[in-house]
């Protein structure tokens, strides 16, 4: 049983690594898309900020993941392993396809599907699911709206300033906004794995009540930052270049708007998607110039990927957990 628990923790850290790998685009898409930084230094800054983020924003999201979706009293190692396996499989599939889906919601779907397979509907905390759905709806819409307003204000304020000067100023400011977004990404996304590892420790009696030990924060933050550093180019290309062509002030607006809503949701303990937020932010700043500046066909493909992530993750985890339980 100890070996199985260790294996589950390793699987959780692998998911965290893949989360950073898969979601590296969230942190660096705009700063790469505006050509302020090349991918390697951009991802290096993002990796460091992803590591620091969880230490700044508390563990409210980890608590929601750990005991807000499935009642901890029903959780077993099989359920945890099934949940992680489903989320990992879905992350790999969408990475291969270059789709910027949410690792967070893949994990939520995984927890839901594994919980249903292992304990039935009685284990599901529907109020927690409502909180997650709130994050799904709020993060892209709010990210789009806030980024749109920031970009519009910048256009009005700097209307008579030379484009070269504007690009120079906001090119430098993008270094700040990109780091800000990476901090919030680490804070919100990084906490999901912490909640899962805490559940594993709880099932094994290592901790007697649900809490997030400091060493769990350290392990999860390290795994995510390494994943971010080695993150793939496929999704960066989709986010940075295929949705719309970005200028530095737009990149700054998208990052600042998206990071702000993610920070608010992290403090509130709502496991929102940084992918949803930054995608909405990029669409918002693209629409400031004109609606046709946004490639809405790409956006539509992303939206469909958002919609299917939780049910797809749940379905894969349900099947895997059912198979695991069959070997009892």
Instruction: Give 4-15 pLDDT, tens digit per residue.
Output: 888 889 989 988
Q: Is the pLDDT of residue 29 over 70?
A: no
Q: Is the pLDDT of residue 296 over 70?
A: no
Tell me which of 65 and 235 has the higher pLDDT.
65
Tell me which of 284 and 35 has the higher pLDDT.
284
Res 243: pLDDT? 47
pTM listed for this prediction: 0.79
Least confident of 37-41, 203-207, 319-323: 37-41
Query: Per-residue confidence at 97, pLDDT binned at 50, 70, 90?
Result: confident
Host H or E run for residue 325? helix 296-325
State the Cα angle at 152 between 39 and 137, rounded to 5°.
70
- For the chain, the distance separating the N- and C-terminal CA atoms, rounded to the nearest angstrom, is 13
Query: Per-residue confidence at 319, pLDDT binned at 50, 70, 90?
Result: very high
pLDDT for 151-200, tens place per residue? 999 999 998 899 889 988 998 898 898 889 888 888 887 788 898 999 89
Tell me which of 233 and 105 has the higher pLDDT.
105
Domain boundaries, the chain: 2-325
Contact assessment for residue 262 and residue 189, using Cβ atoms and an 8 Å cutoff = no
Among candidate residues 159, 177, 143, 165, the one with its CA nearest the CA of residue 37: 177
Res 126: pLDDT? 83
Query: What residues are paired with 70 via a beta bridge?
Result: 124
């Amino acid at each position: 049983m100890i070996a199985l628990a260790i294996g589950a923790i390793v699987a959780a850290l692998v998911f965290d690594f893949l989360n950073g790998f898969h979601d590296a685009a969230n942190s660096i898409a705009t700063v790469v898309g505006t050509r302020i930084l090349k991918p390697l230094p951009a991802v290096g800054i993002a990796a460091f900020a992803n590591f620091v983020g969880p230490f700044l924003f508390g563990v409210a999201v980890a608590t929601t993941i750990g005991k807000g979706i499935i009642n901890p009293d029903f959780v077993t190692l099989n359920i945890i392993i099934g949940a992680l396996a489903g989320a990992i499989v879905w992350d790999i599939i969408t990475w291969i396809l270059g789709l910027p889906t949410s690792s967070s919601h893949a994990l939520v779907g995984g927890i839901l599907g594994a919980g249903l397979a292992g304990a039935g509907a009685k284990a599901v905390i529907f109020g927690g699911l409502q909180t997650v759905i709130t994050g799904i709806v709020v993060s892209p819409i709010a990210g789009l709206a806030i980024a749109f307003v920031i970009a519009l204000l910048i256009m009005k304020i700097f209307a008579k300033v030379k484009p070269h000067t504007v690009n120079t100023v906001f090119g430098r400011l993008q270094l700040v906004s990109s780091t800000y977004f990476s901090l919030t990404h680490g804070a919100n996304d990084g906490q999901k794995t912490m909640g899962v590892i805490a559940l594993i420790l709880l099932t094994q009696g290592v901790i007697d009540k649900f809490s997030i030990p400091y060493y769990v924060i350290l392990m999860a933050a390290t795994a995510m930052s390494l994943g971010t550093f080695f993150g793939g180019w496929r999704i960066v290309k989709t986010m940075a270049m295929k949705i719309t062509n970005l200028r530095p002030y737009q990149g700054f607006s998208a990052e600042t708007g998206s990071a702000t809503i993610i920070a608010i949701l992290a403090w509130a303990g709502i496991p929102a998607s940084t992918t949803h937020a930054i995608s909405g932010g990029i669409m918002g700043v693209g629409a400031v110039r004109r609606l046709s500046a946004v490639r809405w066909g790409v956006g539509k493909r992303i939206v469909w990927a958002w919609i299917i992530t939780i049910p797809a993750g749940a379905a894969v985890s349900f099947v895997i957990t059912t198979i695991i339980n069959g070997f009892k």
